[in-house]
Amino acid sequence: MLTDTVIEDSRWQAFNLEPLADQAATVTLRHLDLDPEAHEIVLMGCDDARITTLNGDFRDKPRATNVLSWPFEDLSAETPGGKPLEPEAEELGDIAIAYETCQREAAEQGKPMADHVTHLIVHGVLHLLGYDHIRDEDATLMEQLEVEILGKLGLPDPYREDTGPNGL
């Protein structure tokens, strides 16, 4: 399996996070012409308290967030909007995802939590692969990839403002 899922909050067990994460990560890597069998990602399903601590420790932002990622190697593109480097290591890195924040955001956006979590996992995997959204050119590229990957998973464009509840 591509993802090694660590469950720290039991609500993720009932949510069936492991197969959802593996599918999202596999489709993301295949979309980028990378072999999922050649790589590994650790995904931690946690709660807001844990992600608040992690966000404070690693980003000096002690508040809850939906997803965090720690790439094993820096694959960032040298130029804005450029393609990141190809990963050399088997390990791509680690992702943490917070249950309460994901649940609240999904409800606020009127979409199924599984769709929102899938989007956030795709987003986290892209971060592990060197994609970012700090510079406008990079954000455009990353969002385009997210839309394409989510489309392959049968999910609507999360950035379209004209979609209503449940992406319709």
Residue-range domains of the chain with CATH? 3-73+83-153 (3.40.390.30)
Q: Quick one: which H or E segment has residue 70?
A: strand 67-71
* 116 in a known ligand binding site: no
Find the range with the poorest average confidence among 59-63, 140-144, 164-168: 164-168
**Is the pLDDT at 162 greater than 60, yes or no?**
no
Question: What does the pLDDT read at residue 1?
Answer: 59
Under DSSP, is residue 67 helix (H, G, I), strand (E, B) or coil? strand
Name the 3-class secondary structure at 98. Answer: strand
Annotation-wise, does 127 bind a ligand?
A: yes
Q: What is the pLDDT of residues 129-140, one digit of tens each?
A: 999 999 999 999
Residue 164 is predicted with a pLDDT of 47
Buried b (16+ CB within 10 A) or exposed e, 56-77: eeeeeeeebbbbbbebbeebeb
Name the residue type at position 162: D
- Binding residue per annotation — 31? no
Q: What is the mean pLDDT of the chain?
A: 94
3-class DSSP state of 87: coil
**Is the four-CA dihedral 25, 26, 29, 35 of positive or negative sign?**
positive
pTM of the entire predicted model? 0.94
How would residue 167 be classed by pLDDT, with cut points 50, 70 and 90? very low
Query: What digits encode the pLDDT tens for the residues 100-112?
Result: 999 999 999 999 9
| Contacting residues for 66 by C-beta, under 8 A, at least 6 apart | 97, 98, 101, 102, 105, 120
Q: Which residues pair with 97 in a beta bridge?
A: 45, 67
